[in-house]
Structure 1
Amino acid sequence: MAEPVWIVGVGMTRFGRHTDRGVPDLTAEAVREALADAGLEQRHVQAAFFGNTTQGALEGQLMVGGQIALRAMGFERIPVFNVENACATGATALHLAVAQIRSGAADIALAVGVEKMNVADRGRAMAVFEGAYDVSDPAGLSATLTALGGEVDNSGAGKRSVFMDIYAAMARAHMNRFGTTQRQIAAVAAKNHRHAEHNDRAHHRTPLTVEEILAARALSYPLTVPMCAPITDGAAAAVVCGERGLRRLSGTGRSVRVLACVIGTGVERPLDALDRHVVRLLAERAYEEAGAGPRDVDVAEVHDATAFAEIQLTELLGLCDPGTGGEAAEKGDTTLGGRLPVNPSGGLESKGHPLGATGLGQVYELVRQLRGDAGARQVPGARTALAENCGGFHGGEEAVAAITILGV
Structure 2
Amino acid sequence: MRDVFVMGVGMIRFGKFPEVWMEELGRQAILGAVKDAGIDPKKLMVAYCGHSHQGRVAGQRALKQAGISGIEVVNVENACAGGSTSFRQAYLSVAGGLYDMALAVGMEKVGGGLLPPNPEDLDGLQGRVLPGHYAMKAVRHMYEYGTTPEQLAMVSVKSHKNASLNPLAQYQESVTLDQVLGSRMVADPLTLLQCCPTGDGAAAAILCSRKEAEQSGRPLIRVAGSVVRSGNFVGAGEDILASPLTRETSQNAYEMASVGPQDVDVCECHDAFTIGEILHYENLGFCPRGEGGRLIQDGATEITGTIPVNPSGGLLSKGHPLGATGIAQVVEIVRQLRGEAEKRQVETPRVGLTHTMGGAIPGLEAGACAVHIFVRD
Sort the TM-score into its range (normalised by shorter chain): over 0.9
1:165 matches 2:132: yes
Q: Within 5 A, what are the aligned runs for 1:211-290?
A: 211-246=178-213, 249-251=215-217, 253-269=218-234, 271-272=238-239, 277-290=244-257
Tell me, in whole angstroms, the C-alpha distance in 2 between the residues paired with 1:30 and 1:295: 33
Q: In the aligned structure 2, how far is the partner of 1:274 from the partner of 1:213?
A: 23
Deviation at 1:115?
Answer: 1.0
Structure 1: distance between partners of 2:96 and 2:151: 45
1:23-60: CA deviation from partner (whole Å, max 9, x where unpaired)? 111111111110111111110101000111122xxxxx
The CA RMSD measured in Å over matched residues stands at 1.8
Query: Which of the numbers 115, 123, 147 marks the counterpart of 1:127?
Result: 115
Match runs of 1:88-167 below 5 Å: 88-118=81-111, 126-128=114-116, 130-131=117-118, 135-139=119-123, 162-167=129-134
Measured after TM superposition, the shift of residue 400 of structure 1 is: 0.8
In structure 1, what residue type is equivalent to 2:367? A
> 2:108–2:202: 8 Å Cα contact kept in structure 1?
yes
CA gap of 1:273–1:354, structure 2 versus 1, over 3 A, is closer
Aligned equivalents of 2:232, 2:240: Cα separation in 1: 11
C-alpha displacement of 1:281: 0.9
**CA–CA separation in structure 2 for the residues paired with 1:190 and 1:140:** 29
Contact 1:274–1:280 (8 Å) recurs in 2: no
Map 1:5-16 → 2, pairs under 5 A: 5-16=4-15
Count of residues in correspondence between the two structures: 373
Alignment of 1:313-352 (within 5 A): 313-352=280-319
CA distance in 2, matches of 1:299, 1:170: 25
Cα–Cα, structure 1 residues 38 and 350, in superposed 2: closer, same or farther, change >3 Å?
same
Cα distance, 1:105–1:313 mapped onto 2, change above 3 Å: same
Specify the code of the residue in structure 1 equivalent to 2:368.
V
Cα separation, 2, equivalents of 1:76 and 1:391: 29
In the other structure, the counterpart of 2:366 is 398
Unaligned runs of 5+ in 1: 56-61, 146-161
Q: Distance in 1 between matches of 2:328 and 2:96?
A: 25
Q: Which residue of 2 aligns with 1:54?
A: 53
Distance 1:396 1:50 in 2: 25
Q: 1:387 aligns with which of 345, 354, 365?
A: 354
Name 1:18's counterpart in structure 2.
17
The residue that corresponds to 2:163 in the other structure is: 196
Do the aligned residues in 2 keep the contact of 1:267 with 1:276 (CA within 8 Å)?
no
Q: Structure 2 CA distance, aligned partners of 1:113 and 1:392? A: 16
Moved more, 238-247 or 26-35: 238-247
**Structure 1, residues 265-310: CA drift from partner, whole Å, max 9, x if none?**
2223552176661001111101100000000000100000111110
In structure 1, C-alpha distance between the alignment counterparts of 2:141 and 2:80, rounded to whole Å:
22
Task: Report runs of 4+ in structure 1 exceeding 4 Å deviation.
Answer: 139-143, 273-276
Letter in 2 for 1:346: G
1:368–1:374: 8 Å Cα contact kept in structure 2?
A: yes
1:78 paired to 2:71: yes
Q: Which amino acid aligns with 1:400?
A: A
2:80 counterpart residue number:
87
**d(CA) in 1 for partners of 2:123 and 2:165?**
43
Q: Aligned to 2:185, what secondary structure does the other structure show?
A: coil
Q: How does 1:24-43 map to 2 (within 5 A)?
A: 24-43=23-42
Q: Which amino acid aligns with 1:357?
A: A
- Equivalents in 2 of 1:181, 1:358: separation in Å? 28
The AA in structure 2 aligned to 1:399 is G
- CA distance in 2 between counterparts of 1:88 and 1:373 reads 25
Q: CA deviation at 1:173?
A: 2.5
Separation in structure 2 between the aligned mates of residue 184 and residue 142 of structure 1, nearest angstrom: 30
Q: Which residue of 2 aligns with 1:148?
A: none
Query: How far did 1:141 drift?
Result: 8.3
Structure 2 contact 241–279 (Cα < 8 Å) conserved: no
**TM-fit CA distance, 1:335:** 0.8
Question: Partner amino acid for 2:232?
Answer: V
Separation of aligned partners in 2, 1:396 and 1:43: 42
Following TM superposition, by how much is the alpha carbon of 1:127 offset from its aligned partner in structure 2, in angstroms? 3.4
Gaps of 5+ in 2: none
Superposition deviation, residue 246 in structure 1? 2.9
Matched, 1:297 2:264: yes
> Counterpart of 2:233 in structure 1: which amino acid?
E
The answer for the alignment partner of 1:153 in structure 2 is: none
1:359 alignment partner, SS class: helix
Partners of 2:337 and 2:366 in 1: how far apart? 28
Contact 2:159 2:310 in 1 (8 A): yes
Calculate the TM-score normalised by the size of structure 1. Answer: 0.87
What letter is aligned with 1:65? A
Query: Any idea what the Cα deviations from partners look like across 1:174-226, whole Å, max 9, x if unmatched?
Result: 22222222211101111111111100110001111111100001101111111
**What is aligned with 2:345?**
378
Q: 1:335 to 1:276 in 2, by over 3 A?
A: closer
